[in-house]
Structure 1
Amino acid sequence: MTQRQVLDPLTLSAQDLVCGRGGMALGPPLSFSLSSGQCLFLRGPNGAGKTTLLLTLAGLITPLSGHFSILGAAEETGRLIHHCGHRNAIKPRLTVAENLQFWARINPSGGLDPALALAETGLARLADLDAGYLSAGQSRRLALARLLVSHRPIWLLDEPTAALDSQGHGVVASLIEHHLGMGGLVLAATHDPINVENAAILTLGGQG
């Protein structure tokens, strides 16, 4: 695993946070605190509000009530967060390498060179292939490689192991462990077990 810059200490804190869509709450108020080097896995049935919580923390949905904050931040919130949704958001007519180069240009912050990011996610040999030819698992690896090409401390991951085989699960665990070791924070919604030491679990109930 390529060494990366140690991140400044941060704390992501939520107090009585109620998330929902269309004015309907998807669960009771949530309160939690996550500091540098810590990982929290969100679990629960479909409709429990896992994705909605991640979108709320990413600033894409307004909470119904309560609030959250990032303590210790020296930059605006948008430059601290990587949100990796369940959709891969890749451009099929660009090559694998060009996709990452695009993300590195629009999110410049001292991340890995795209070639190194592809190597870490197991896609180095596919760098010159049009992304539209990737399998579902390879597309997911490319989406995860975006986390590495810009330097952001907070990772919000929605089903990061979706479509991945057992080796891919290991890649995800390795990426998370290394990010935590650099002082990053990870909040991930997942139905799959991911082998990350000392990760906490928050189970959401849901309303269908």
Structure 2
Amino acid sequence: MLEARSLTCVRDERTLFSNLSFTVNPGDILQIEGPNGAGKTSLLRILAGLHRSEQGSVRWLQQDIRRQREAFHHQLLFLGHLPGIKALLTPLENLRFYHHGQQTQAVWDALESVGLLGYEELAVAALSAGQQRRVALARLWLSQVKLWILDEPLTAIDKAGVGFLMQRLVDHAREGGMVILTTHQDLPDDDYPLRKIRLQPAEAE
């Protein structure tokens, strides 16, 4: 379980949100909503242990993540706004680098799942923005960690790709995983219930 306790975030002397508390349990898909500037990305980075909150704490399995940083990060896959992949490597090399313990066939299957077969030997720098995003998202087909934190994972992804990615998130949740994501798109919740938290700038409340 991931637990946010009374989180307050201040950026450039402006309070983005305050006294924010919630839990994320195995099987949850949690969508963080809110207008631009409400602090969605800041919240995700706080939950991932990449930023510190002004007040409050984040707990993983009932312990503060700051006291178990390495163990927590072993159970976390964080994909931010940028693809977070190595531009000089190929898609195949990137997946082997980040998931070196995976079987070769699993890596090829991941590339096929995101529509990158035929591009596996090109340097990532030569790919389009959407294709680069797909390289990063292919990691979701290889990851075995419990917690996925995804910042706008659907950016530059076509409609078919969105549906395929949502099915992967649902599969992960059904296997006992946890997903926290932001997106400007309306997500389908017919087959699997989504939880939602909407951020409003604290000064506007």
TM bucket (normalised to shorter chain) is: 0.7 to 0.9
Cα deviation, residue 24, structure 1: 4.0
Cα deviation, residue 50, structure 1: 0.4
- Quick check: 1:93–1:130 contact (8 Å CA) kept in 2? yes
Matched, 1:99 2:88: no
- Structure 1 stretches of 4+ moved >4 Å: 72-75
One-letter amino acid of the structure 2 residue matched with residue 122 of structure 1: G
The CA RMSD measured in Å over matched residues stands at 2.5
- The TM-score normalised by the length of structure 1 is 0.85
In the alignment, which of 168, 173, 176 is matched to residue 166 of structure 2?
173
* CA distance in 2: counterparts of 1:31 and 1:138, whole angstroms: 36
Q: Secondary structure at the match of 2:18?
A: coil
Q: Which runs of 5+ in 2 are unaligned?
A: none
**191-200 or 60-69, which moves further after superposition?**
191-200
User: What does residue 142 of structure 1 align with?
Assistant: 135
In the alignment, which of 3, 26, 29 is matched to residue 13 of structure 1?
3
Alignment of 1:23-172 (within 5 A): 24-71=14-61, 76-105=71-100, 113-172=106-165
Cα deviation, residue 19, structure 1: 2.2
One-letter amino acid of the structure 1 residue matched with residue 92 of structure 2: A
Deviation per residue, 1:75-125 (Å, 9 max, x gap):
8111111110010122222111011111113xx589x83212212222223
Cα deviation, residue 170, structure 1: 0.9
**147-156 or 59-68, which moves further after superposition?**
147-156
In the alignment, which of 188, 199, 202 is matched to residue 204 of structure 1?
199
Cα deviation, residue 152, structure 1: 1.0
Q: Secondary structure at the match of 1:15?
A: strand
* CA distance in 1: counterparts of 2:172 and 2:95, whole angstroms: 19
One-letter amino acid of the structure 2 residue matched with residue 49 of structure 1: G
Cα 1:201/1:145, change in 2 over 3 Å? same
- The TM-score normalised by the length of structure 2 is 0.86
Cα deviation, residue 23, structure 1: 5.7
User: What does residue 8 of structure 1 align with?
Assistant: none
Cα 1:109/1:16, change in 2 over 3 Å? farther
In percent, how many aligned pairs have the same letter? 37
